[in-house]
Chain A
Amino acid sequence: MGIMLTTPTYRIRKLDSITFDDLLREQDPFGAQSPRFDLRQVKFVTPAAMVQLAAACHFLDRQERRATINLSGTTVPSYFLRSNFVNIVRPVAHFNPPFRRGALDAFDHLHGSNQVLIEVTKIETGQALQGLLSRIVDVLIRNLAYPEAAAFDAVIAVSEVAQNTFDHNDETCGFLAMQVYGQGQHRFLEIGVADFGQGLAATLRRNPLHAGVQTDLEMIERAVQNRTSQHHDDQTRGTRMYHLLSIAHQHAGSLQIRSGGANLRYRGDRRQGWGRDVPHMPGVHIALTLPAVFPTP
């Protein structure tokens, strides 16, 4: 039986990589004695927010705290089931109301079959990533008729971000999800990757070159520059964020990098990013949207 709830006061209808920070600000799940994410007003969740939520629940679990995710209606609970979010999060969080036993496996037969959705996937090793990345290529080329080069660019971006989640964190993992939205000229894809590791600041400060950088925002700005790495003795490191941003620019996409208490957002083909302070949360969270690409006639 679920916990009794008062009327929700939170007004977030669309939970995405931007409003996720509003959610943290309003509900303060990390500071609360009983952490909860009240999503009862939420009608729509993007992949980037979903992986952020997964990372948040797993982080709380690592602190031996169990989050409660409050839901209402059928749209969001059903999306959470279909996108594998429930399977990923249920071991570390409560859902309120809880999912019925029959509902939990209702979408099992559909896993992997949705042409426009890469379900929430735990990323722990490069080996596991290889199959997933090739599957995303397949979805983009076969199902969405992306030209090969555009599909490869998108998946290279995913690969670079996803590898960061386990390369820089020993005892945590990352989560990845992707969804294609819209039709025709309005079609775009969103990719979300989030972990609950040490974040950019702690990682990059291992390199004496970056030890003096004070704020999370400065560290994110530094991370997108070429060859910014924790490894001062390895010249081949530190190009991932740089290439990620290049791909976002090349395709006039948008990129948001969140780490610690800051968020840096790049939009369209503009070279300048917009930074802002956000509630502190461990890990690095990436939201990348790329406009649809159509085959040349």
Chain B
Amino acid sequence: MEKRLLLKEYGVQLWTRELAKEVRSQLVVLLDQLEPGDTAVIDAAGVQVFDYSFANELFGKTLLSLPYEYPGRFLIVENLSPYVRLNLTKALESLGLAIIERTGGELKLLGKVHPADEATFAEVAKSREPLTAAVLRDRLGANLNAINERLTKLTNLALVRRERGVSPAGRELYLYRVLA
């Protein structure tokens, strides 16, 4: 399931932390309705600008709380103008955070992301099926420890979802996916 928040309803120019608190309270209402695997979409269509205080309060605070308060749920952004994308990236970089942007059918990360984590995310995101760390090791050519570290990091940032699965041999393992 996807729930959508239309940012433009709050204005095309979004200033101040105070306004972001109002928007975030609505986002929390949406997140409360989601089950693990579901997605909240922040639709920025028509938004010209927001300041860093707004970005920190809305995106920063939500991303920080997501893995703990809403585990397994995703937060993504869509329809960012080039200027808004650039500023959101700067805001998230300064906070050490990242968010998923969906453009067309493509998913990519905005914010502070190590290239290796980005490659791991891209591999999980393009797969139709959830992947194990072993499969990612083979596809990305890195050792298993490194892959597991990246996956833990991405999971803790609510950028990939970790599910329990069972291998063909009957062993319990973790599966990773992005969105449902």
- Residues of A in contact with B (beta carbons under 8 Å apart): 125-127, 129-130, 133-134, 137, 148-149, 152, 155-156, 159-160, 163, 167, 226-227, 235-237, 239-240, 242-243, 246
Question: Does B102 sit within 8 A of A, measured CB to CB?
Answer: no
| Bound Cα distance A235, B19 (Å) | 19
Chain A residues with CB under 8 Å of B49's CB are: 137, 152, 155-156
- Select one of A130, A163, A235 contacting B64, CB under 8 A: A235
Residues in B5-50 with C-beta less than 8 Å from chain A: 11, 13, 15-19, 48-49
Question: Is A126's CB under 8 angstroms from B17's CB?
Answer: yes
Task: Kindly list 7 other residue pairs between chains A and B, CB separation below 8 angstroms, not including A126-B18, A149-B83, A152-B48.
Answer: A130-B16, A130-B19, A155-B51, A160-B53, A236-B95, A240-B52, A243-B52
- Select one of B15, B18, B52, B61 contacting A239, CB under 8 A: B52
Provide 24 A-B residue pairs closer than 8 Å at the C-beta atoms, listed in order of the A residue. Answer: A125-B18, A126-B16, A126-B18, A126-B19, A129-B16, A130-B19, A152-B49, A152-B83, A152-B87, A155-B49, A155-B51, A156-B49, A156-B52, A160-B52, A235-B95, A236-B64, A237-B56, A239-B94, A240-B52, A240-B53, A243-B90, A243-B91, A243-B94, A246-B90
Question: Does B57 sit within 8 A of A, measured CB to CB?
Answer: yes
Question: Does B60 sit within 8 A of A, measured CB to CB?
Answer: yes
- Select one of A133, A148, A226, A235 contacting B60, CB under 8 A: A235
Range for the number of chain B residues in contact with chain A = 20 to 34
| Bound Cα distance A126, B19 (Å) | 8
Chain A residues with CB under 8 Å of B48's CB are: 148, 152
Chain A residues with CB under 8 Å of B91's CB are: 239, 243
Question: Is B16's CB under 8 angstroms from A137's CB?
Answer: no
Point out which of B17, B51, B60 has the most chain A C-beta atoms below 10 A from its C-beta. B51
Question: Is B15's CB under 8 angstroms from A134's CB?
Answer: yes
Chain B residues with CB under 8 Å of A130's CB are: 11, 13, 15-16, 19
Chain B residues with CB under 8 Å of A137's CB are: 13, 49
